[in-house]
Structure 1
Amino acid sequence: MNSSSWLQNLSDVWDRPPSGYRPGVTLGQLRRDLAGLECEVASPTRVQFSTGDLEFEVQERAQAQLLMHIVVCEFVLRVPSQQTEATKIVLRHTGAIRRQGVAARLSEGSAQAMAPLLERLHADAPLLAALLPLDFKRLELQRDAQGWQVRLEHFGASEVVNRLPGFRRYIRLTHEQRAALLATFTRLYSLLGEF
C-alpha cells in the first residue's frame, strides 16, 4: 500500500459519519420544538425556518467522540451588509457562577472600524435581555462579501448517542430558550444591519 492510498483510506474513515448517526432525526425533533414557524426542508440535514419577519437556517452536524457522538444544530442567520471587510466577532457570557453580562471579542477585522459595534453589543439592553438567559455553546458574528452571518450553537436542540451502554437522548429546545433565541436573532438582525 503506497502512502497516498493509505492517507486516502484514513481520510475516508475520518470523514465518515459516526456509527449510529441518523441524518435528519435531530432536525425532526427541533422542528417539533419550533412548531408554529414556517419550515422548508432543504436537505435531510438542513432546514430553513421563517417567522414572517425573520428567516434563519439550521444545519445538523454530527461530532464523533470515543464510543459516542453528539448531533448538534447550528443556527445561521444572514444579515445584509453594505460593508465587505472580513470581520469575526465572538460573543460569550461573563460571570464565574452567575451570568453577569456578555463579552464581545473581535478576532478578525479592524478594531477601529468595529469599535462602535462592539460597544453596542456590550451595552444594548434588549440584546442583553435576550442573550443572558440563552444557553449557547458558541455564538459568532462573521462578515464577508455576502454580508453578516450569525452562527449559534445551542446546548439544547442536540442529541447525545452512546454506544456502551447504548442510549440515545434528545435535549429539547424549551419554550424559554426558543423565545430567547428568536429575540436574540431579531435584535442582532436590527443591530448588524447598521454596520
Structure 2
Amino acid sequence: MTLNQLRRDLSGLACAPLTPGLARFTWAEEGLDFEVQELPQAQFLMHLVVCEFRLRVPGSPGPQARIDIHHTGAIRRQGVAAGLKQGAQEQWTGLLQQLHSDPQLLAALLPLDFKRLQLQRNEQGWLVRLEHFGASEVVNRLPGFRRYIRLSAEQREALLAAFRRLHSLLRNH
C-alpha cells in the first residue's frame, strides 16, 4: 500500500511491481533504475512502513567495502561525512574524498532528509541503500488510523539528483 502512494510521489517515472512490497522505478531520461522495498517496523500498538531505495551500480570485480554517509552539523546541516565501515582505508581514500567534497553530490544530499545512506561494494559493483524519512506510513491500532508521509517535490528532486551523481561517481570505482 505504501508503494502505491510512493508511485504518485514519483510520477513521471515508470514503475514495475516485482513482488509484494518491492517495485522497480525507471528514470528513462537518465538511464537509471532503482528498486524500492517496503520495510515494516513493529512498534507498540502501531507499526511503520518505511521505504528503502536501492540503486545498483554495476562494476568490475574488486575489493569489498561499506561506506556510511550522514549529515554533519549539530543544528543546521553543514556537510556530509562518509565513513568507511568495511574495507581497506588506503584503497578508498580517493572515493571518500570525493564523497566529502563533490559539489554536485553535496548540493543533492544537503537538503535530502534521510535516516540512513549506505554504499556497499561487492563483486558485482555497488549497491546504494537509502532510507528516507518521507515515503513512509504510520499505522496505529488505538486509535485506528493510517497516515502516509509524502515524498515532497523538493525531496524527490534531491533524491534523484543524489542517485544520478552517486551513479556517476561509483561507476568509476
TM-score by length of 1: 0.86
Q: Which whole-Å CA distance do the structure 2 matches of 1:83 and 1:54 have between them?
A: 21
**Cα-to-partner distance string for 1:70-107 (whole Å, 9 max, x where unaligned):** 00110000001214311000000000110000000000
Q: Which whole-Å CA distance do the structure 2 matches of 1:104 and 1:41 have between them?
A: 32
Q: Which whole-Å CA distance do the structure 2 matches of 1:145 and 1:67 have between them?
A: 42
SS at match of 1:122: helix
State the number of aligned residues. 171
Q: From the two aligned structures, give the one with the greater strand fraction.
A: 2
Report the counterpart of residue 192 of structure 1 in structure 2: 170
Amino acid at match of 2:57: V
Report the counterpart of residue 26 of structure 1 in structure 2: 2
After TM superposition, the structure 1 stretch with the greater mean CA deviation from structure 2, 41-50 or 133-142, is 41-50
Residues 33 and 49 (structure 1 numbering): CA distance in 2 closer, same or farther, change over 3 Å?
same
1:170 to 145, 148, 168: 148
**Cα-to-partner distance string for 1:128-184 (whole Å, 9 max, x where unaligned):** 000000000000000111210000000000001111222210000000000000000
Report the counterpart of residue 35 of structure 1 in structure 2: 11
Q: Which whole-Å CA distance do the structure 2 matches of 1:112 and 1:83 have between them?
A: 18
Q: Which runs of 4+ in 1 moved over 4 A?
A: none
Q: Which whole-Å CA distance do the structure 2 matches of 1:166 and 1:86 have between them?
A: 45
1:154 to 122, 128, 132: 132
Q: Where do 1:106-121 residues align within 5 Å?
A: 106-121=84-99
**Larger radius of gyration between Structure 1 and Structure 2:** 1
Amino acid at match of 2:17: V
Amino acid at match of 1:145: E
Q: Where do 1:1-12 residues align within 5 Å?
A: none
TM-score by length of 2: 0.97
Amino acid at match of 2:24: Q
Q: From the two aligned structures, give the one with the greater helix fraction.
A: 1
Report the counterpart of residue 32 of structure 2 in structure 1: 54
Give unpaired runs (5+ residues) of structure 2. none
